[in-house]
């Protein structure tokens, strides 16, 4: 008896996963009571990606990355050491563009169940390793292990369709991070850990010159371009 051909319609598709993930994120944000609470783990994950962007950029430029803090209100702080020159501006930019870059990568690459599994497993492992090496805040120690556990569960035990939808959900959330928090791009200071500090975009303007408002528009444009690129690649057949 010959094997029946596989029904291609039964296979999860990148397009279908992207549509479902985007709808879930929109509905929970807009219509579900306490939707922000339900999406809080994704907020902490975005903060972690942001601070890791600062730290890894500092390491790439020959500086130091001592630790990072993730706070319960969704803010964070990367403790880096870098000379107060052009490299300091790039470290500030590294955090701002890290979430949309990571989100676009997830959207573009997790186009099948196997790729989604590899990316989710790699993300969970990266979170766990950072807990041992860099994370030094109570909220980070409590929230990030839960993030890693949920990501790992979807990577290992979820079905192909659920795994792809979840990978795209994380990707969309990260890719939208700069847009949803765009107010931070247009302020010159922010309270972090109870202390008023110069914002990342103000640091960029201080190092490279010009208005932080102009730099905010430029970074927002880059973030939206990354978002569009991620969606386009995820939508390709």
The first and second tokens of residue 108, run together, are 């573009």
User: What does the chain come to in residues?
Assistant: 237
pLDDT value of residue 237: 72
Check if the beta carbon of residue 67 is closer than 8 Å to that of residue 58.
no
Check if the beta carbon of residue 229 is closer than 8 Å to that of residue 13.
no
The DSSP result for 145-162, as a single string, is: HHHHHHHHHHHHTS-HHH
Q: What is the Cα–Cα distance from 199 to 96, expressed in whole angstroms?
A: 10
Supply angle C-alpha 212, 53, 80, rounded to 5: 85
The answer to the question of residue 7 being in a domain is no
Supply the range of the domain harboring residue 19.
14-235
Q: What is the Cα–Cα distance from 125 to 122, expressed in whole angstroms?
A: 5
pLDDT value of residue 3: 42
The first and second tokens of residue 171, run together, are 């990707």
Q: What is the Cα–Cα distance from 106 to 120, expressed in whole angstroms?
A: 9
pLDDT value of residue 76: 95
Side-chain-side CA neighbours of 99 within 13 Å: the count stands at 27
The answer to the question of residue 3 being in a domain is no
Check if the beta carbon of residue 77 is closer than 8 Å to that of residue 90.
no
The answer to the question of residue 6 being in a domain is no
pLDDT value of residue 11: 62
The answer to the question of residue 24 being in a domain is yes
Walk along the chain (237 residues) and give the pLDDT tens digit of each residue. 444 444 444 567 888 999 999 999 999 988 999 888 999 999 999 999 999 999 999 999 999 999 999 999 999 999 999 988 899 999 999 999 999 999 999 999 988 899 999 999 999 999 999 999 999 999 999 999 999 999 999 999 999 999 999 999 999 999 999 888 888 999 999 888 888 899 999 999 999 999 999 999 999 999 999 999 999 999 987
What is the tens place of the pLDDT at every residue in 155-214? 999 999 999 999 999 999 999 998 888 889 999 998 888 888 999 999 999 999 999 999
The answer to the question of residue 5 being in a domain is no
Phi and psi at residue 222, to the nearest 5°: -60, -40
Q: What is the Cα–Cα distance from 189 to 93, expressed in whole angstroms?
A: 15
Side-chain-side CA neighbours of 153 within 13 Å: the count stands at 6
The answer to the question of residue 57 being in a domain is yes
pLDDT value of residue 169: 95
The rounded Cα 88 to chain-centroid distance in angstroms is 21
The answer to the question of residue 9 being in a domain is no
Count of structural domains within the chain: 1
């Amino acid at each position: 008896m010959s094997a029946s051909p596989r029904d291609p319609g039964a296979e999860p598709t990148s397009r279908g996963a992207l549509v479902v993930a985007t709808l879930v994120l929109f509905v929970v944000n807009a219509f579900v009571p306490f939707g922000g609470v339900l999406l809080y783990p994704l907020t902490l994950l975005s903060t972690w990606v942001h601070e890791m962007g600062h730290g890894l950029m500092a390491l790439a430029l020959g500086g130091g990355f001592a630790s990072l803090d993730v706070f319960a209100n969704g803010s964070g702080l990367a403790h880096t050491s870098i000379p107060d020159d052009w490299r300091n501006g790039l470290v500030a930019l590294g955090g701002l563009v890290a979430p949309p870059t990571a989100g676009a990568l997830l959207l573009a690459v997790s186009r099948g169940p196997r790729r989604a599994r590899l990316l989710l497993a790699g993300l969970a492992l990266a979170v766990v390793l950072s807990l041992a090496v860099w994370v030094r805040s109570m909220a980070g120690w409590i929230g990030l292990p839960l993030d890693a556990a949920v990501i790992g569960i979807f990577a290992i035990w979820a079905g192909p369709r659920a795994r792809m939808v979840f990978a795209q959900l994380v990707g969309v959330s990260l890719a939208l991070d700069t847009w949803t928090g765009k107010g931070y791009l247009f302020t010159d200071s922010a309270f972090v850990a109870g202390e008023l500090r110069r914002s990342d975009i103000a640091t960029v303007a201080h190092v490279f010159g010009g208005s932080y408002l102009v730099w905010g528009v430029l970074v927002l444009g880059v973030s939206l371009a990354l978002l569009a690129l991620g969606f386009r690649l995820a939508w390709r057949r």
